[in-house]
Homo-oligomer: A and B are copies of this chain.
Amino acid sequence: MPYYLEHEKFHVAVDSIIFGYDEEGRKLKVLLLKRNFQPSKGEWSLMGGFLKNDESVDEAAKRILQQLTGLSDVYMEQLYTFGELDRDPGARIISVAYFALIKINASDLELVKNHGATWVPITSVPKLIFDHSAMIDKALKKLQIRARTQPIGFELLPDKFTIPQLQGLYEAIYNKSLDKRNFRRKLLSMDLLEKLEEKEKESSRKGAWYYRFDQKKYEDLLNRGFNFEL
């Protein structure tokens, strides 16, 4: 008999911290849902699900995100594995947490609604079940670190966006206001953005130029050993 068959087996779950950016309110938000099963039915929680035999853990995370949002091909990163004995009072469950960055408007809003899910500002997250609050804390910290070292802000915005919009996003991530001259200068000096011949006219009379993230320029920079830093 092979060695490993002697050992115990465990339920393995995946929980996802799904971030989105609300441009109107200029707020960073997370997608929460009300549990419709026991234990803790009716309480707020992260989106999650159980690992299956025929999928890798990464694949499970993607499947679960797609179930809720309809989205595939999304920025996802493994966050941490939560393995305390009593983290779920119902049973021993090991949970691998992921965080995802999505464009809210690209998601299937009906599907989200049907799951009883809601976008909640990161600054006013209610009490969550189990250790899900700790998961969000950890995810936010990691997002803040990532945002300094990789151009992931663009994952949260539409393909076309203005500099003031992008600044609003970073202000929401760091929860502090930034100097717009310094922000613009640093950002443009990285040579990652392509300026479009089109203005956004909703939020000001003057209008702000649209830009687009240039994936190719970014890859060129990486290959030359560049280190993104905001």
Q: How far is the CB of A7 from chain B (nearest CB, A)?
A: 4
A54 to B85, CA, bound (A): 7
Q: Tell me whether A78 is interfacial, beta carbon within 8 Å.
A: yes
Contact A7 B84 (CB under 8 A): no
Q: How far is the CA of A80 from the CA of B58 in the complex (A)?
A: 12
A4 & B85 in contact (Cβ 8 Å cutoff): no
Set of chain B residues within 8 Å of A39, measured between Cβ atoms: 2
**Inter-subunit contact B81/A81 (CB<8 Å):** yes
Task: Given A2-B90, A90-B2, check contact A55 B7 (CB 8 Å).
Answer: no
* Pairwise interchain contact A58-B37, C-beta atoms closer than 8 A: no
Instruction: Please determine whether B91 and A2 come into contact, CB atoms closer than 8 angstroms.
Output: yes
Given contacts A12-B10, A92-B53, A94-B57, contact A2 B38 (CB under 8 A): yes
Which A1-43 residues have C-beta < 8 A from chain B? Answer: 2-5, 7-12, 37-39
Closest to A84 in B: B56
A51 CA to B5 CA, complexed, in Å: 13
Interface size class of A (residues with CB under 8 A): 35 or more
Return chain B residues, CB-CB under 8 Å to A55: 85
CB distance from A222 to the nearest CB of B (A): 15
Q: How far is the CB of A207 from chain B (nearest CB, A)?
A: 39
Asked whether A209 is an interface residue with its Cβ less than 8 Å from the other chain, the reply is no
A83 contacts chain B at the CB level, 8 A cutoff: yes
Is the C-beta of A52 less than 8 angstroms from some C-beta in chain B?
yes
* Bound form: Cα–Cα A12–B57 in Å: 12
Q: Which residues of B contact A54 (CB under 8 A)?
A: 85
Q: Judge if A192 is at the interface, Cβ distance under 8 Å.
A: no
In the assembled complex, the CB of A182 is this many whole angstroms from the nearest CB of chain B, namely 20
In the complex, A96 has a CB within 8 A of chain B: yes
* Interface hits, A167-191 → B, CB 8 Å: none
- The interface residues of chain B lying within 8 Å CB-to-CB of A64 are none
Could you list some 13 contacts between A and B, CB below 8 A? A4-B11, A4-B91, A5-B91, A7-B11, A7-B52, A10-B10, A12-B12, A51-B94, A54-B85, A56-B83, A78-B80, A81-B96, A94-B96
